[in-house]
A and B are shown apart, each in its own frame.
Chain A
Amino acid sequence: MSIPGASDSIDAATFEQILEMDDDEDEREFSKSIVYDFFTQAQSTFDKMDDKIKNKDLKTLSELGHFLKGSSATLGLTKVKDSCEKIQHYGQMKDETGTRDLSSDSEALEKVMRTVEQAKREFEDVEKVLKKFYHDEA
């Protein structure tokens, strides 16, 4: 099963595993509910992130990154997942791979900001693709 227009933003094997859980391949009730739950979760998490950026709360930003990483990984939303992982690392004052220490809070916050924006864009892209997949382009 391939998802049109999602070659590198969605991991096919992982997403297929979700699709296989659907009892009815036409209805796709289960996977659709999961995906739409994710949309809601992602939106609210991004809102929280914006809030925490204002408070410069790196620790919570890292936790939020980890949280959204978990569910985006489950759905195979690779790009969003990767960005969330970066947010998690930056929030811990590490570089994007978690290898080196960052030099200052401001550097970390700067990186978090950029990555959150990137994650939002990636999310919007994949949201469009998935909505199209579920024939819900309204």
Chain B
Amino acid sequence: MTTSLGLNPESPTHPFPSLQSALSDTAESLSSDLLSSSPIPTLVLDHSLAIRCVSDGLLGVLGGRGREQLLGSHVDAIFDPKLPLPPLAVIREALSTAEKTKRLHKLNHVQPDGRTAWSIRCLPIFRHGTLRCIQMELYDTTEDYLKQLELEERITTNETFRILVETVRDYAIFMLDPKGNVATWNAGAEFFKGWKREEIVGRHFSNFYGKEDRDNDKPGRELRDAIRDGRCEDEGWRYRKDGSRFWANVVITPVYRGDTLIGFSKVTRDLTERRRAEEKLVSAFEEASKLKSEFLANMSHEIRTPMHGMLSALTLLLDTQLNPEQLDLAKVIQESGEVLLQVINDILDYSKLASGSFSVSSDIISVTDIIQSVFRSYEKCHTPDIVLESNLDPRLPKAAEGDSLRYRQIVQNLMSNATKFTEDGYVQVNAHLQEEDDDSYLILTEVIDTGIGIPPAASSSLFTPFTQFDNSATKRYKGTGLGLSICKSLAELLGGHIGFRPNPGGRGSIFWFTARLKKIKQLKHLETSQDQSRALAVSTPATPIEDIKLAAVNRSVLLAEDNQINQKVMIKMLSGLGFDDIDLANDGREAVNMAVEHSPPYDIILMDINMPLLDGVTAAKEIRFASIHSPVIAMTANALKGHAESYIAKGMTDYISKPVDRKHLVKILLNCLNQGGLQSSHEPR
């Protein structure tokens, strides 16, 4: 690179020689000092290229060589290839060009390794047409050079990216300004959004969203999310210019320059095909799984019918005169048949659970009652080598909402496993209230045994369908290997979990499950009234029987009961408690008529649930409908207390299970009469 500075090498002649000489002296020493002390590596060479002046800057680069040593020597002596200086050939070229052109010559040189760069500046000074001297300056431009390189690279990269982005057709990639207006548009965007660049640039990107999304300000929300999280990704329907839609994956990223948001990049992919494929796969899978479950359910059902026939016939056969050998064989058939039936029932349950057609009903459940009832059934038939124990948390709710049948099924199954695999020691059932909040209870139920236990390797697959942990056990112990997986599904349907851990006593297993039961709002008054009656019992030293005999005076009772034996017993019991005004209804219809006509209303109505013509629940409803507020006590022989308690939710005041326990009846009557006494507006007769 050659630059003319327009410098006149012929100095103007000064008008005053003496002054000129004085000045010249000063100027000469000044310029010599200036050159010597310059931090820029500088050389002054005479016409024969001998060194006449060296700057401090150059001495620094040369490292250690003294100025005196260099002065007078040829320029070639300085440019040792070992030093980080331009090579001698380049220097020579620069000098000869400067001499030839008689102008300032500038030359840039980059070392072959690319790590250092020099800018060489040669100024030839001629006097009267002959070369007097050459000033050579060497600038280290490495830093500038690197910057330049970087800049060039960046420009190339940007250009590459721009071309990439603009031409890619599988993705819509474009920029939004900070307000969400489209700023750039690529071929992909044009291709699957249908808008041309000139049509869309400057318009808001919410044009790609459906009406519902726009109404919810989803586009605005996405920009805010992107700023907050640094990125926002969404999958959903987006709309083309022609109104057709496609399933899109969208990523929005905010773009900053420094700290200023300059916009957002938005990348949209069309996933319609993928989604369609996924949907196809899912529906195919669901269909297959449904068919499988249906097949299982149908098969099980079909097998069950003849099985029942066989087993019934077998029972009859066992009642006939059989010789001992025949009896043995028949018993084998019976036992195997029963196992088979259990297997089929399990499969039926399992396939119902698997196909999701297993519904959970919501009735009133008392954990204590269920466990006691299951416990009793095992108490009857357990071997004397096993001790059966139960620990029930007194805080367990007396009544809560849940599926009592499913709960019972889990307890029964765990108990049956425990007793099956335990030959001696104990089997224990524990139930605790684990958590309680405003709406629900979480009940933890554990079945602990000292049986054969579960080897650690098998514990992970315990709840997997059709697995029994030990093949040899299968031979000794009957079963489908479905029980626990059914329990697991049931526990999950009840809003809980199921699990296993070894018995810390060293032998046997602990199986536990949790179930979430809803609280019943209607029952609150019952519990508080029971509390009141307890308080009452404390405050009065008299026995409940004496209390009721006092309370019964002049009270009228309607007894609705269709069974004459129960009528007689109830009337006898009531009159024994001091009631002498007892009317009798033989069915629900009669009960309603009598309750409505009786004036003033009865003080107590005792209502059997299953009655001809009109059942107790409907009768109670009709009585309430006629604005008669007498307490109605349901009497029920239903096995599950839970069912009975649901009657309270249906308008009954309280309930009592059959056979009617006198003490319990007294308690309930006292409750009703005391409450009735507070509420009733009529005078006792």
Contacts and interface: CB of A to CB of B under 8 A. Distances in A.
Are A and B interaction partners?
Answer: yes
Contact of B305 (A67, A75, A107, A114): A107
A21 B637 contact: no
Contacts of B564: 37, 41, 71
B409 A99 contact: yes
Contacts of B608: 70
Contacts of B569: 18, 21, 34, 74
A34 B305 contact: no
Given A71-B563, A99-B409, A104 B305 contact: yes
Contact of B639 (A11, A30, A75, A85): A85
A76 interface: yes
A79 interface: no
A107 B312 CA distance: 9
Interface in A1-40: 11, 13-14, 17-18, 20-21, 30, 33-34, 37-38
A107 B639 CA distance: 23
B405 A99 contact: yes
B288 to A, nearest CB: 26
A47 interface: no
B345 interface: yes
B318 to A, nearest CB: 12
Contact of A75 (B304, B409, B565, B572): B565
B565 A67 contact: no
Interface stretch (B148-156, B238-246, B328-336, B656-664): B656-664
A54 B304 CA distance: 24
Interface in B297-311: 301, 304-305, 308-309
Contact of A107 (B308, B345, B566, B660): B308
Contact of A114 (B315, B637, B658): B315
Contacts of A66: 610, 637
A100 B308 CA distance: 14
A45 B509 CA distance: 49
A81 B568 CA distance: 18
A110 interface: yes
A86 to B, nearest CB: 11
B566 A71 contact: yes
Interface of B is mostly: helix
Nearest to A67: B563
Nearest to A22: B572
Contacts of A67: 562-563
B566 A74 contact: yes
A73 interface: yes
A74 B569 CA distance: 8
A103 B311 CA distance: 14
Contacts of B565: 34, 37-38, 41, 70-71, 74-75
A133 to B, nearest CB: 17
B573 interface: yes
Contacts of B677: none
Given A21-B572, A67-B562, A73 B637 contact: yes
B576 interface: yes
B659 A73 contact: yes
A70 B345 contact: no
Given A66-B610, A71-B565, A71-B566, A103 B659 contact: no
A37 B568 CA distance: 10
A114 B312 contact: yes
Contact of B658 (A18, A34, A73): A73
A14 B657 CA distance: 12
Contacts of B576: 21
Nearest to A95: B345
Interface string B649-685: 0000000001111100000000000000000000000
A43 to B, nearest CB: 13
Interface in B598-613: 608, 610
A37 B569 CA distance: 11
B301 A70 contact: no
Contacts of B312: 107, 110-111, 114
Given A34-B568, A70-B563, A14 B659 contact: yes
Contacts of A38: 565
Which interface residue of A66, A71, A73, A85 has the most chain B CB atoms within 10 A?
A71
Contacts of B568: 33-34, 37
A13 B662 CA distance: 11
Contacts of B309: 106-107, 110
Interface in B434-462: none
Interface in B557-612: 562-566, 568-569, 572-573, 576, 608, 610
Contacts of A114: 312, 315
A103 B659 CA distance: 32
A76 B659 contact: yes
A98 B639 contact: yes
B351 to A, nearest CB: 14
Contacts of A100: 345
A6 to B, nearest CB: 16
B610 to A, nearest CB: 5
Contacts of B658: 70, 73-74
13 contacts: A17-B662, A21-B573, A21-B576, A33-B568, A41-B565, A69-B637, A70-B565, A71-B565, A74-B566, A74-B569, A75-B659, A103-B304, A110-B312
Interface of B: 301, 304-305, 308-309, 312, 315, 345, 405, 408-409, 562-566, 568-569, 572-573, 576, 608, 610, 637, 639, 658-662
Given A71-B563, A99-B408, A107-B305, 9 more contacts: A17-B659, A71-B565, A71-B566, A74-B566, A74-B658, A75-B659, A103-B305, A110-B308, A114-B312
